[in-house]
Homo-oligomer: A and B are copies of this chain.
Amino acid sequence: MTVTLADVAVRAQVSPATVSRVLNGNYPVAATTRERVLRAVDELDYVLNGPASALAAATSDLVGILVNDIADPFFGIMASAIQGEIGGPGGRAGGERLAVTCNTGGSPERELTYLTLLQRQRAAAVILTGGAVEDAPHAAAVAAKLRKLADAGTRVVLCGRPPAPDTDAVALTFDNRGGGKELTEHLIGLGHRRLGYIAGPEERTTTRHRLEGHRAALAEAGIAEDPRWTVHGRYDRRAGYEATLELLRRDPTLTAVVAANDSVALGACAALRESGLRIPADVSVAGFDDLPFSIDAVPSLTTVRLPLAEAGARAGRIAMGREEPPPGGIATVRGELMVRGSTGVPRA
């Protein structure tokens, strides 16, 4: 039924061992023999049996990428960059790896299950992207899993995610706190004193860090923060829309709204516009991430650009062992403030 290595061996008049070695190219095989084997492979249209190969060799060519939300370009862009470096098809011949993206939906259990599935497949590497959930038991469980993966020879890299304690996973962390601070400083510099903040879901590192940056900026400027000025929600436009309405209800005198990310900011803009407020004349709006559509918003969004593609590519290279991990295994990736049309001086 299916063609096996043995069939190829018979056809090429060599032993299965030789066929295997030709295919893996890590053992001297005479040119003429190799050619004969390759011809047989071609004629029989042979396809290696991955599981069998993985079993015998005790390694596989799977590389897992965990994302919180595959429908969000934030993750899509990183995943795309990672895959580009994993080589999938396109890498050096023979070294083809299957880069697979797993969508956790932000759920801790799913994250763990996927990690187990990947462990079960004896993945060559695993890359976790995006913020982590801040729950001690869960964090410990993930750390344990990562340790086991590492023990089994799987390379583990965190991209855009804080370092995992008690783990020697390489971490490329975004400076969410610094970016958040800079953004709010920009607003304060323009003269804003009453700033609403639409945060992401609680219990997520990204949410907390960005919020901390925001508050640090307020504190440094001597602005007392009103608890009514912060609302939590998901990382999507809908949440931004609703949160903005809520903020406006709580305090109609706000002159600026800082959003957890660009999608949220877009929702905020929609809500403000529908409320009859002009941006930035009446209310300034700022986002985070600088996703591609941000520049097309009207007015275009002031935001913090995160080098998603670059970070992803680097994480991919490290996972493939093609680039040295940063000293200490941890690197901080900084964002860049992009001042655009959605922020301006507050109304008098």
Contacts and interface: CB of A to CB of B under 8 A. Distances in A.
A338 B53 CA distance: 51
B88 A77 contact: no
A337 interface: no
A38 interface: no
Contact of A120 (B47, B99, B267): B47
Given A50-B54, A51-B53, A70-B79, 9 more contacts: A51-B54, A71-B77, A71-B79, A71-B80, A83-B103, A88-B114, A90-B113, A263-B293, A298-B298
Which 5 pairs from chain A and chain B are nearest by CB?
A100-B100, A89-B113, A51-B54, A298-B298, A101-B101
Contacts of A273: 298
Contact of A103 (B45, B80, B107, B109): B80
A2 interface: yes
Nearest to A59: B51
Which of A54, A72, A118 gathers most chain B CB within 10 Å? A54
Nearest to A240: B296
A152 interface: yes
Contacts of A101: 70, 79, 100-101, 103
12 contacts: A45-B148, A49-B122, A51-B53, A55-B55, A69-B80, A70-B70, A71-B73, A84-B105, A89-B117, A96-B117, A237-B292, A293-B293
A110 interface: yes
Interface in A60-93: 60-62, 69-73, 75-77, 79-80, 83-84, 88-90
Nearest to A293: B293
Given A54-B51, A73-B76, A76-B73, A103 B99 contact: yes
A152 B45 CA distance: 14
Contacts of A114: 88-89, 98
Contacts of A80: 69-71, 103, 105
Contacts of A88: 102-103, 110, 113-114, 117
A285 to B, nearest CB: 12
A20 interface: no
A71 to B, nearest CB: 4
A107 B296 CA distance: 28
A103 to B, nearest CB: 5
B121 A51 contact: yes
B119 A47 contact: yes
Given A54-B51, A101-B100, A114-B89, A76 B70 contact: yes
A72 B105 CA distance: 17
Which of A47, A75, A116, A152 gathers most chain B CB within 10 Å? A47
